[in-house]
Structure 1
Amino acid sequence: MKILVVKFGGTSVADPERIGNAAKKIAREIENGFHVVAVVSAMAGVTNQLTDYCKAFGDTTKNRDFDAVLASGEQVTAGLMALALQQMGVKARSCQSWQIPIRSSADYSDARITNVEAEKLLSILQSDTVPVVTGFQGVTPEGDLTTLGRGGSDTSAVALAAVLNAVRCDIYTDVDGVYTCDPRLVKQAQKLKTVSYEEMLEMAALGAKVLHPRSVALGMKFGVPIQVLSSFEAGVGSDVPGTVITTEDSMIEEHIISGITLSRNEAKLTLAQVPDKPGIAAAVCQPIADAGVQVDMIVQSASADGKTTDMTLSVPRGDLKRAVEALRKVKDFEKLEIKTAEDIAKLSLAGIGVRNNPKVPATMFKTLSEIGVNIHAISTSEVRISVLIDEASGEKAAQALHKVFIGE
């Protein structure tokens, strides 16, 4: 049995007309010889509306009944999609997460999938029926509904594709693939035919909003090819390919750099003359972590006197105040000078060339130098280089790097 999992995001099912268009794509894939499992999000705006309803009764997040309310959004879409397919003569039925079941942890609003039982879905597929599954949700061992947090529907779809040994997981969204840069930032941005899991993980973590890192990590773990394509273009994934996220060995084309991202949601704080001794990084980062703030880059300067050093950290801009307050509560840091800056951006290159081509870092730094962009901090991974720069320089820096590494 050749199984294809297709997932439709909120904008793709925003109203009955769009649900009908999505149903036509499912029917087309059945004609192409696939047994299709559909995963749906709530209709665009519905999850936010349900969240606002809950807020009328206080801060109810991380709450069993908050998740019960939010889960209703996908249930409505699943029922409507099943009805649309039935109207077209396609056998279909809606399936709630607890009916399959998709097992999850009990971390309400941010649960993790622990197990998916495939037997019921396989039985439905064998009867030539399309199961329309509610994304974004799971069920605890006690039978309570949970929601999976950001990227939950994508993660649901990839998890189902993995357990069903699907040929592919197609993610229909409002863009037609993964681009080398945000086209709003760089007009010459190019759509990629393929990109590796590692590269996509880095790009997603750096702010490319096409896919959530959780779904990519799951695809990489189980070897599920993931295709990103537009629900608003004619054709389906088997006819009009978008971008396929796959193993490096399976890539059709190989770029030195696959993507350039610019995140404007950055801030930095610098601690002057902290003691230069073992454990100082932990002493700085622990209170920030305890305050729920994610530290990204850390740069510790060489000690001039062997006793003190300066340390610079980058954090999300909206969390800067919380990070500083957390440090001020530490007795040893009460009198330390802490400098902050909010007009900061993070510019990143992602691609297997970072690992394979030693000229990439030097070329990046030379290009930025030639256009007068100063680098405040640098961090790297196997397939990524990120720098902190002034936000005002972000756009011209991204355009310059795209011209050098990818072309006009």
Structure 2
Amino acid sequence: MPVLVMKFGGTSVANPDRIRRAAKRVGVEVAKGYDVIVIVSAMSGKTNELVGWVNETSPLYDAREYDAVVSSGENVTAGLMALTLQEMDIPARSWQGWQVPVKTTSAHASARIEDIPPANIEAKFAEGMRVAVVAGFQGISPEGRITTLGRGGSDTTAVAFAAAFKAERCDIYTDVDGVYTTDPRISSKARKLDKIAFEEMLELASLGAKVLQTRSVELAMRYKVKLRVLSSFEEQSDDAGTLVCDEEEVMENRPVSGIAYSRDEAKMTLLSVADRPGIAAAIFGPLSEAGINVDMIIQNIAEDGRTDMTFSCPVDQVKRAEKAMENAKESGEINYHNLVADTDVAKVSAVGIGMRSQSGVAATMFKTLSDEGINIKVIATSEIKISVLIDRKYMELAVQALHDAFELEKQA
């Protein structure tokens, strides 16, 4: 039988009633003739609670035991979902990551999936099981220890299963009914997209859109897994939600498909750095080793052998970045007069595959922000993205103005 993967997020399985609602959706797909692999997250709020308990018990915790604790939330949901399906007379059983097995690296709390052998689950499908309920977010290391994949890891689990089992589709059920042109909480004109290209979704996810985890989109693009984002709380039709697919399948051909934002950004500037070959490596090497996620980078024109270097990073990584730069200065790797951190900025981005073939996007974006009196601090571009750093107080105004300027409320 064809295989379908269905993933239910924390809000979709927050209590037994919601688990029953999700199970009914699974039953509909079983009735259509699918063998179904259900990936479940922990109940809403449960992972945060477990993380809190770990921190309270052992602030300098053993990462292996951290994973053993925080992965347990998904085990509870998987068992309850399997029991609910059995009550509906649907042959189902739960699977923990090690039972499948979901083979991962040894990087506890941020492991990466290396292999999912399908033999064990396929054997049970052959024996008459119709639904495999798999605990998301978890796997097993080469050393035989439980691992977790990082926040949002159940999305990655679902896509990886869809690739391993050559599933017809991977449906991600969440608390929103699809991917929107921007956050509906900021712009009432935000419009749900019927389809979006993998590359666009990857950019939106990495730039702050919370609908899908970035790694899950990377996997889907690599293995050509059709992803559909749906709401757990609305009646479904065959064309419900948003389909994330190949660029060739997207009919809309507009230069910009969406406006993303991230409010938790910081702008850091090294003032008067020695301008010499290798200076960039000397700065960004220590930042990389400290685990700093650097995004935008700007180097000013050199004068008298000195230059300024500006970069952005998440605001919660500022202290680590400052420490890394101080250590590099003390060791003589770099020399600078001062490090200035601006933690009151936000990043706003326009994303669209149409930018490749249509000009004028940057001009429209910059003029729109200018007309609103919004000053741009840093600009970064790629083939399908333009991002700017602005004062955080103007973030919502910028998102609304750009959404209007590119007429994203209208169908193409």
Shorter chain as denominator, the TM-score bin is over 0.9
Check conservation: 2:274, 2:336, Cα contact below 8 A: no
Check conservation: 2:273, 2:335, Cα contact below 8 A: no
Matching residue of 1:148? 149
Q: Distance in 2 between matches of 1:142 and 1:174?
A: 36
Q: Map residues 340-379 of structure 1 onto 2, 5 A cutoff.
A: 340-379=341-380
TM-score (norm 1): 0.95
Secondary structure, aligned partner of 2:94:
strand
Q: Distance in 1 between matches of 2:336 and 2:148?
A: 43
The percent of aligned pairs where both chains have the same amino acid is 51
Letter in 1 for 2:284: C
Deviation at 1:313, TM superposition (A): 1.2
Check conservation: 2:255, 2:355, Cα contact below 8 A: yes
Q: Distance in 1 between matches of 2:319 and 2:202?
A: 29
TM-score (norm 2): 0.94
- How has the CA–CA distance of structure 1 residues 356 and 61 changed in structure 2, closer, same or farther, with 3 Å as cutoff? farther
Letter in 2 for 1:263: S
Q: Distance in 2 between matches of 1:274 and 1:142?
A: 45
Deviation at 1:347, TM superposition (A): 0.8
- How has the CA–CA distance of structure 1 residues 56 and 277 changed in structure 2, closer, same or farther, with 3 Å as cutoff? same
Q: Distance in 2 between matches of 1:65 and 1:396?
A: 45
Letter in 1 for 2:271: A
Matching residue of 2:323? 325
Matched, 1:162 2:129: no
Q: Distance in 1 between matches of 2:9 and 2:291?
A: 29
Q: Distance in 1 between matches of 2:383 and 2:259?
A: 15
Matching residue of 2:302? 303
Matched, 1:400 2:392: no
Letter in 2 for 1:10: G
Check conservation: 1:54, 1:60, Cα contact below 8 A: no
Aligned residues: 405
Check conservation: 1:60, 1:66, Cα contact below 8 A: no
- How has the CA–CA distance of structure 1 residues 61 and 297 changed in structure 2, closer, same or farther, with 3 Å as cutoff? farther
Deviation at 1:377, TM superposition (A): 1.0
Cα deviation code 1:250-302 (max 9, x no counterpart): 22433321110121111112222212221111222223233322211110111
Check conservation: 1:257, 1:406, Cα contact below 8 A: no
Check conservation: 1:193, 1:253, Cα contact below 8 A: no
Secondary structure, aligned partner of 1:43:
coil
Deviation at 1:240, TM superposition (A): 4.9
Over the residues paired in the alignment, what is the CA RMSD in angstroms? 1.6
Q: Distance in 1 between matches of 2:122 and 2:50?
A: 32
Check conservation: 2:272, 2:336, Cα contact below 8 A: no
Letter in 2 for 1:278: P
Matched, 1:78 2:78: yes
Letter in 2 for 1:322: R
Q: Map residues 17-32 of structure 1 onto 2, 5 A cutoff.
A: 17-32=17-32
Cα deviation code 1:125-167 (max 9, x no counterpart): 3324211011100112332211111221111111110011101
- How has the CA–CA distance of structure 1 residues 38 and 61 changed in structure 2, closer, same or farther, with 3 Å as cutoff? farther
Q: Distance in 1 between matches of 2:317 and 2:67?
A: 25
Q: Map residues 105-184 of structure 1 onto 2, 5 A cutoff.
A: 105-126=105-126, 127-184=128-185
Check conservation: 2:6, 2:170, Cα contact below 8 A: yes
Matching residue of 2:382? 381
Deviation at 1:172, TM superposition (A): 0.4
Matching residue of 2:39? 39
Q: Distance in 1 between matches of 2:323 and 2:129?
A: 59
Q: Distance in 2 between matches of 1:20 and 1:255?
A: 40
For structure 2, list consecutive stretches of 5 or more residues without a partner in the other structure: none
Matching residue of 2:203? 202
Deviation at 1:354, TM superposition (A): 2.1
Deviation at 1:406, TM superposition (A): 2.9
Matching residue of 1:48? 48
Check conservation: 1:38, 1:132, Cα contact below 8 A: yes
Letter in 2 for 1:80: L
Q: Distance in 2 between matches of 1:273 and 1:140?
A: 46
For structure 1, list consecutive stretches of 5 or more residues without a partner in the other structure: none
Secondary structure, aligned partner of 1:4:
strand
Deviation at 1:81, TM superposition (A): 0.4
Q: Distance in 2 between matches of 1:148 and 1:335?
A: 38
- How has the CA–CA distance of structure 1 residues 304 and 138 changed in structure 2, closer, same or farther, with 3 Å as cutoff? same
Q: Distance in 2 between matches of 1:167 and 1:335?
A: 55
Letter in 1 for 2:199: E
* Among 310, 313, 336, the residue aligned to 2:311: 313
Q: Distance in 2 between matches of 1:288 and 1:49?
A: 31
Letter in 2 for 1:14: A
Secondary structure, aligned partner of 1:228:
strand
Q: Distance in 2 between matches of 1:184 and 1:211?
A: 17
Check conservation: 1:354, 1:361, Cα contact below 8 A: no
Q: Distance in 2 between matches of 1:91 and 1:402?
A: 47
